[in-house]
Structure 1
Amino acid sequence: MLKLTKVHHIAIICSDYERSKQFYTETLGFSVSAETYREARNSWKLDLSLNGHYIIELFSFPSPPPRVSSPEARGLRHLAFEVNDVEEAAAALRQKGVTTEPVRTDEFTGKKFTFFTDPDGLPLELYEK
């Protein structure tokens, strides 16, 4: 049997490296673990951590093709982040100019959640702990 232990990281390709770097660090609060320019690929790779845990690799590539990215499209539906208080976290995002959907309650768990997007339209979710 395959014995997976955890999700190691999530890789995201962005269209505007500086804009996405600012969003994930200043808006969402990720810390930069490493930042590498890969000259052969004309590409940046940014390793991002949250509370000391390596989570996201943010890549830039010249002219990446667009991808369908709505929550109901085939493929990755969304990336969810756990927060203690969804209402408070959503308000903090709105203060930084990020549009969030109305807060809803999960009918199965009774937990609050909301969706928003990153600068490239990647669907992201806040889910209450």
Structure 2
Amino acid sequence: MLTLNKVHHIAIICSDYERSKRFYTEVLGFAVVQETFRAARQSWKLDLSLGGTYIIELFSFPDPPERLSRPEAQGLRHLAFEVNDVEVAVKALLDKQVVTEPIRVDELTGKRFTFFADPDGLPLELYER
């Protein structure tokens, strides 16, 4: 039987490396673990952590193709981040000019949540603890 321990990381390919790097570090507060330029691929790789846990690999590639990225599209639906208070988190995003959808309540759990997007339109969610 296959035994999985945990999700190791989430890989994201961005269209504008510097813009996405600023978004994930300055807006969302991820810490840079390591940044590497891979000359053979003309590609940056940025390892990011949150609360000391390695979570995201952010990649740049020359001319990556666009991908449909709406929440109901087939494939990865969204990436969700837990927050203590969704209203406080929304205000912090709005202070950095990041627009969110209206706050909703999960009909199954009673928890509040909202969606917003990264610079390439990747759907991100804030989900209240």
TM-score exceeds 0.5? yes
Equivalence for 2:52:
52
Matches within 5 A, 1:1-129: 1-129=1-129
Distance 2:111 2:6 in 1: 23
Q: Percent identity?
A: 77
SS of the equivalent of 1:19 reads helix
Distance 1:99 1:88 in 2: 14
| Displacement of 1:2 | 1.1
Using structure 2 for the length normalisation, give the TM-score.
Answer: 0.99
Give the alignment's Cα RMSD to 1 decimal: 0.4
Deviations 1:87-123 (A, max 9, x none): 1101110110001000000000000000000000000
Paired amino acid for 1:67: R
Deviations 1:15-67 (A, max 9, x none): 00000000000000000000000000000000000000000000000000000
Distance 2:107 2:5 in 1: 29
Distance 1:87 1:103 in 2: 8
Using structure 1 for the length normalisation, give the TM-score.
Answer: 0.99
Distance 2:85 2:8 in 1: 26
Distance 1:55 1:67 in 2: 22
Structure 1 runs not aligned, ≥5 long: none
- How many residue pairs get matched? 129
